Chains A and B, each alone.
Chain A
């Protein structure tokens, strides 16, 4: 497999992102991005089955809108890593700042360390696995998908949840409004096991708790007649 180096000491973020956008989607190659030095918007809008390694700490909105690509950040990231991702896999070896994986429609975001506040805010079908703790208001208004937390969750977890499901291994320092802890059942254990396998974390699914919407705010049901007027 051809390995291509891209260097942010000599190329701009725009040049590097444009290089990725110009790739033929059938190209299967591996890329290294050197000297990120906290720059924003690296590897945004990728849409090819390629592998990208970002070697160092990166800034805001890394790997946003990702489709297909497998992107690893060998360091920490700033706000909103993997924002609005559609598919593919993003892995952060360090910690992630606020709003990690916000509004993700699909794909998998793995954070080896801690994620800060509002992790998975408004997620819409993606999966997020956090190896450490998450900050306050995580999974706020999360509509669909899974947030799995191997450490603790700070206060306000799952505030105003819709259909997204949260699994927490550690301590929950406070649930958000309309979020509640529910009994783990067989499909939950299977889902936790699947997510842990994909993230390569070695925990027992029996250690996890399930948090979902209590549906006192939100009443949608596929059997309701609310759309009959249409």
Chain B
């Protein structure tokens, strides 16, 4: 199975409560995937154009304080940590920070880079993960979440969704892909590197490759329909958009609920039953190979 959730806030009141509404959505979809969970939250673009680098440490007792001090002294960065997760906020080129981290802290895993994106993901029951990283306190413009029942690759924090590629781009997937090895070989020949052997990572990097080639997100997804074989409902987040598509067979579920305040996306209605004004929301299912996109 796997569960997909997403929330797009249409006003500042909803943005301030994004976490309060998305946390129960993730917990509910724990019924569709208990192996791991993840959430990408997008916040409004900051005026200083600072980058946010999200890090994961496998070590529960990782000395974030020590890293924070070193980053502050050597690279003038700030660091905010919760449990196994930390965000580095920097005004310098992220590649310098990544290079420095790989030299001094190679055990750390980079979850995301961007001006607006934060990614939390871990292995374990979605309820534990939502509590651990305080999903209910998060604020932002939109978010994309996933609960995983692993089929195609191992259960680790790194194999959890969302997958990211480049800056401010993430993707979650319910389904399984049959030509992801071919996609991977094709992309690797172009110099694109992978972090895991997961099928979803292949479609995420494929999408980024198309965007870098100059495609609009719509054109990139039309090519995805042609080139990516398998079953999928994909929910994609960028700095100012949330995008939903299903494959031609549409055998992986999705439901959209729209009100004046928000757009909610979920694998099932029960994941959105707690949302305000849900009884009067416009509810509909996305059709196969159609692109559903909401933009800030």
Give the interface of A toward B (CB within 8 A): 37-40, 56-60, 76, 78-79, 94-95, 97-98, 116-117, 135-136
> A56 to B279, alpha carbons, bound, how many Å?
8
Given the known interface contacts A79-B253, A98-B253, the answer about A38 and B273 at a Cβ–Cβ threshold of 8 Å is yes
B187 interface residue per 8 A CB criterion: no
Q: Please, could you name 5 A-B residue pairs with CB atoms under 8 Å apart, sorted by A?
A: A37-B273, A57-B273, A59-B270, A76-B269, A97-B253
Given the known interface contacts A57-B283, A76-B283, A116-B285, the answer about A98 and B251 at a Cβ–Cβ threshold of 8 Å is yes
Interfacial chain B residues near A78, Cβ < 8 Å = 253, 268-269
**Is A117 touching B250 in the complex (CB atoms < 8 A)?**
yes
Selected contact of B268 from candidates A56, A59, A95, CB within 8 Å: A59
**Is A136 touching B273 in the complex (CB atoms < 8 A)?**
no
Given the known interface contacts A79-B253, A97-B253, A98-B253, the answer about A136 and B269 at a Cβ–Cβ threshold of 8 Å is no
**Is B268 touching A136 in the complex (CB atoms < 8 A)?**
no
B166 interface residue per 8 A CB criterion: no
Interfacial chain A residues near B287, Cβ < 8 Å = 135
Closest chain B residue to A94, Cβ basis: B283
Q: How far is the CB of B266 from chain A (nearest CB, A)?
A: 9
B288 interface residue per 8 A CB criterion: yes
Q: How far is the CB of B195 from chain A (nearest CB, A)?
A: 34
> Residues of B within 8 Å of A, CB-based: how many?
16
Name A's interface SS.
loop
> A33 to B259, alpha carbons, bound, how many Å?
26
**Is B268 touching A38 in the complex (CB atoms < 8 A)?**
yes
Q: How far is the CB of B258 from chain A (nearest CB, A)?
A: 14
Q: Mark B15-54, 1 if CB is under 8 A from A, else 0.
A: 0000000000000000000000000000000000000000
Q: Name 5 extra pairs, CB < 8 A, besides A38-B270, A57-B283, A78-B253.
A: A38-B269, A57-B273, A94-B283, A117-B250, A117-B288
Total A-B residue pairs with C-beta atoms closer than 8 Å?
Answer: 45
Given the known interface contacts A117-B250, A135-B250, A136-B250, the answer about A97 and B270 at a Cβ–Cβ threshold of 8 Å is no
Give the interface of B toward A (CB within 8 A): 250-251, 253, 255, 268-273, 279, 283-285, 287-288
The 6 closest A-B pairs by CB, nearest first: A38-B270, A38-B269, A37-B273, A57-B269, A38-B273, A116-B285
**Is B285 touching A97 in the complex (CB atoms < 8 A)?**
yes
Selected contact of A37 from candidates B255, B270, B284, CB within 8 Å: B270
> A98 to B279, alpha carbons, bound, how many Å?
21
Q: How far is the CB of A136 from chain B (nearest CB, A)?
A: 7
Closest chain B residue to A38, Cβ basis: B270
> A194 to B212, alpha carbons, bound, how many Å?
59
> A39 to B253, alpha carbons, bound, how many Å?
15
> A188 to B268, alpha carbons, bound, how many Å?
38
Q: How far is the CB of A54 from chain B (nearest CB, A)?
A: 13
> A78 to B283, alpha carbons, bound, how many Å?
12
Interfacial chain A residues near B271, Cβ < 8 Å = 38
**Is A39 touching B251 in the complex (CB atoms < 8 A)?**
no
> A37 to B287, alpha carbons, bound, how many Å?
23
Interfacial chain A residues near B283, Cβ < 8 Å = 57, 76, 94-95
> A117 to B288, alpha carbons, bound, how many Å?
10
**Is B253 touching A59 in the complex (CB atoms < 8 A)?**
no
> A20 to B8, alpha carbons, bound, how many Å?
40
> A98 to B285, alpha carbons, bound, how many Å?
10
> A135 to B273, alpha carbons, bound, how many Å?
25
Q: How far is the CB of B52 from chain A (nearest CB, A)?
A: 34
> A79 to B32, alpha carbons, bound, how many Å?
14
Q: How far is the CB of B221 from chain A (nearest CB, A)?
A: 19
> A108 to B283, alpha carbons, bound, how many Å?
25
Closest chain A residue to B28, Cβ basis: A38
**Is A39 touching B270 in the complex (CB atoms < 8 A)?**
yes
Q: How far is the CB of B174 from chain A (nearest CB, A)?
A: 14
Among A57, A98, A117, the one with the most B-chain Cβ atoms within 10 Å of its Cβ is: A57
Closest chain A residue to B281, Cβ basis: A57
> A78 to B285, alpha carbons, bound, how many Å?
10
Interfacial chain A residues near B285, Cβ < 8 Å = 95, 97, 116
Interfacial chain A residues near B270, Cβ < 8 Å = 37-40, 59
Interfacial chain A residues near B251, Cβ < 8 Å = 98, 117
Interfacial chain A residues near B288, Cβ < 8 Å = 117, 136
Interfacial chain B residues near A60, Cβ < 8 Å = 268
Interfacial chain A residues near B268, Cβ < 8 Å = 38, 59-60, 78
Among B269, B272, B287, the one with the most A-chain Cβ atoms within 10 Å of its Cβ is: B269
